[in-house]
Amino acid sequence: MNKGIFITAEGPEGAGKTTVIGMLSQKLEQEGYRILLTREPGGIEIAEQIRRVILDKKNTQMDARTEALLYAAARRQHLVEKVIPALEKGYIVLCDRFIDSSLAYQGYARGLGIKEVFSINRFAIEDMMPKLTLYFDIEPEIGLERINKHKNREVNRLDLEDLDFHHKVREGYANLMNDYPERMVKINAAQPIESVLREAEWKIKEIIQRESEKDLKE
Ligand SMILES: Nc1ncnc2c1ncn2[C@@H]1O[C@H](COP(=O)(O)OP(=O)(O)OP(=O)(O)O)[C@@H](O)[C@H]1O
Ligand SMILES: Cc1cn([C@H]2C[C@H](O)[C@@H](COP(=O)(O)O)O2)c(=O)[nH]c1=O
């Protein structure tokens, strides 16, 4: 049985996910929580290798289903090698992207179908869904402008998709918000960083409180 809490961060490019969960992980650690901060695709050696293949700008010929399968493979390995052991030890796992990225990017924006992409991911994750998903909502124009300003960030193959693709990604997330209102919360990521941080922290504290009460009752 998992004693920890699995939390994911989702959203279009440049929404601020990495910045916000990085800052929150430090804050929560200082408050005494055991935190594992990780990311997808990646987080462990095999998945980082898969990440390099998927995101390499030279791989323009990659088929959409191959792309979806590679993300799912990286996800599987990352879960079994890193996420599940940490949850078993009682860590709060903060993961930068997870299955909803596949559903929004490959399922909706690439047009493979949300249900179809969910089904290959079901094989990868079994029933390991997050307890909470923070969805950082941003207009793609603002998000892309942010990452273009960020000189040290390497532009990857997915970033180079046209604006229409990035709008579809956001539409895909809007569909997921409708489908999973019990675990997904939307945060307006266009706000100043302090407000985004505050909202994300509230949501995380709420789930920590809820889960600890559940533990006490069990
Ligand atoms: N609320 C904000 N207002 C203004 N700039 C922000 C805000 N949040 C993050 N940024 C800046 O936007 C840039 C992108 O942020 P970050 O890398 O955290 O986004 P991301 O959602 O993880 O992007 P990606 O998924 O594309 O890697 C960074 O330079 C960051 O400092
Ligand atoms: C997990 C996952 C990711 N993607 C896309 C989303 C981004 O364009 C890149 C990852 O880069 P980031 O800087 O770490 O955000 O990959 C995807 O299309 N499908 C997925 O399942």
Kindly provide the ipTM of the predicted complex, given to two decimals: 0.98
pLDDT tens column, 111-120: 999 999 999 9
Mutate to test the pocket of ligand 1, among 8, 17, 19 (most ligand atoms within 8 A of CB): 19
Please name the residue that has the structure tokens 């408050």: 31
- Show the ligand 2 pocket: residues with CB < 6 angstroms: 13, 39-41, 71, 97, 101-102, 105-106, 156, 158
Residue 214 pLDDT grade (very low, low, confident, very high; cuts 50, 70, 90): confident
- The total of structural domains in the chain comes to 1
In whole angstroms, what is the distance from residue 145 CA to residue 14 CA? 8
pLDDT tens column, 151-201: 678 889 998 899 999 999 999 999 999 999 999 999 999 999 999 999 999
In whole angstroms, what is the distance from residue 94 CA to residue 25 CA? 8
Would you state the pLDDT for residue 155? 85
In this prediction the pTM is 0.97
Mutate to test the pocket of ligand 1, among 8, 10, 13, 18 (most ligand atoms within 8 A of CB): 18
Residue 1 pLDDT > 90? no
CATH number at residue 121: 3.40.50.300
The residues near 5 (Cβ < 8 Å, ≥ 6 apart) are 87, 92, 93, 131, 132, 207, 208, 211
pLDDT tens column, 68-101: 999 999 999 999 999 999 999 999 999 999 999 9
Instruction: Give the structural domain span for 195.
Output: 5-217
